[in-house]
Structure 1
């Protein structure tokens, strides 16, 4: 799967109940595991021992989990649940009939030892034919390989330039998306507002947000896109 090196293949089926029985989940979430997920298969283990890649300071291993679905999409909260208790970085391949959607998270360490992580943001591809997407392991160590995988899976949804770290790209993209949401809400509020004075104030705030957004977006254009 994903044309990864054969040395990384693991192909071990993980019982679904291992996730929902060992964690506190609502009946609704348990029903998702039972009804929407056919199988969870640990397809690949990307590590210095399996891929001839140097160790990283932050990333030890990257696991590839195939999640075979009965139909439709899978909510992000289910992926977060699967990640709980797994002290590694994960690439999820959602599989439905002949289509796949590839997900991964930008994760940050919760402690200095790097034994626990928190998800800062998820990124994913569109639904695509199962044989039309492959991942390339680029980088001299696990940290670089992980960063390149996140950027590859995220595509245009993650803004970046040559001078930014992955964390800086993630933070700036989140800030841009937040500003766009605020602008949309403010525009809707202006359309409904009847009082002229209030409309003027809303318009001033809208101009300020647009200037801030333009500044953030120009950081990408001025420094060049990766």
Structure 2
């Protein structure tokens, strides 16, 4: 998928700074994760709220709003542990824009986990990311969408390493992403075994299994 940064609509702007303590001063957050908040995050901004009232797209129970949070990193990145705490504290879907300063200037990328609401804490997929891009890069308009759920799927698509199929729900994409990650791990293990295997017949057997797993992986993408 092509990496992209979006031009978020002015009508959806919030621009409110959120104290880090709001997230890590919870009993369920470990001291180690609190330390990550302190060492990794300079500022958290609730930047935009994409909703029926702000961008005139109908919502649904699963996607009543989409929040855009901008995280200013103190160093190279913000860890998944920090993102997870924020995600679980906010019931609606979040698109993170992580910004960092390098010797070459400011860089940004989008990060998000597909969020499925439930009776308790929301269920999160693995975190998806675009590549780091020049923060001054010209931003693209939001994808064309007829509702907030379809917009949510379109916003997540550039971060996935699979093709979103016509009519496919984002929950189905998340299931495929989990399967892809599992197959990638299996393939990596098989490749190491083949490299170290001394017996020729066993090496041939492992290669057949590897070819089968690679074919499955290609089908899922």
Name which of 91, 108, 115 aligns with 2:116: 108
Give the counterpart of 1:179 among 177, 183, 188: 183
**In the superposition, relative to structure 1, how do residues 2 and 179 fare at CA in structure 2: closer, same or farther (>3 Å)?**
closer
Aligned length: 212
The question of whether the paired residues in 2 share the 8 Å contact of 1:172 and 1:216 is answered with: no
Task: Flag the structure with more relative contact order, 1 or 2, with Cα contacts below 8 A and sequence separation at least 6.
Answer: 2
TM-score, length-normalised on structure 2?
A: 0.85
Match of residue 149 from structure 1: 155
Name the counterpart of 2:58: 54
**Unpaired stretches in structure 2, ≥5 consecutive residues:** none
Where does the alignment leave 5 or more consecutive residues of structure 1 unmatched?
221-226
1:204 aligns with 2:198: no
Distance 2:85 2:201 in 1: 46
- Which string of whole-angstrom CA distances, capped at 9 and with x for unpartnered residues, describes residues 144-188 of structure 1? 111111113x15x23333353333233223323322321221221
For structure 1, which segment, 2-11 or 40-49, has the greater mean C-alpha deviation from structure 2 after superposition? 2-11
Cα gap change, 1:216 to 1:38, in 2 (>3 Å): closer
Q: Residues 20 and 174 (structure 1 numbering): CA distance in 2 closer, same or farther, change over 3 Å?
A: same
Change (3 A) 1:213 1:165: farther
| RMSD (CA atoms) | 2.3
User: For 1:90 and 1:192, how far apart are their aligned partners in 2?
Assistant: 44
Q: 1:89 to 1:4 in 2, by over 3 A?
A: same
Contact 2:197–2:203 under 8 Å retained in 1: no
TM-score normalised by length of structure 1: 0.83
1:1-226 aligned at under 5 Å gives the runs 2-97=6-101, 98-111=106-119, 116-132=121-137, 133-134=139-140, 136-152=142-158, 154=159, 157-162=161-166, 164-194=168-198, 196=199, 200-201=201-202, 203-218=204-219
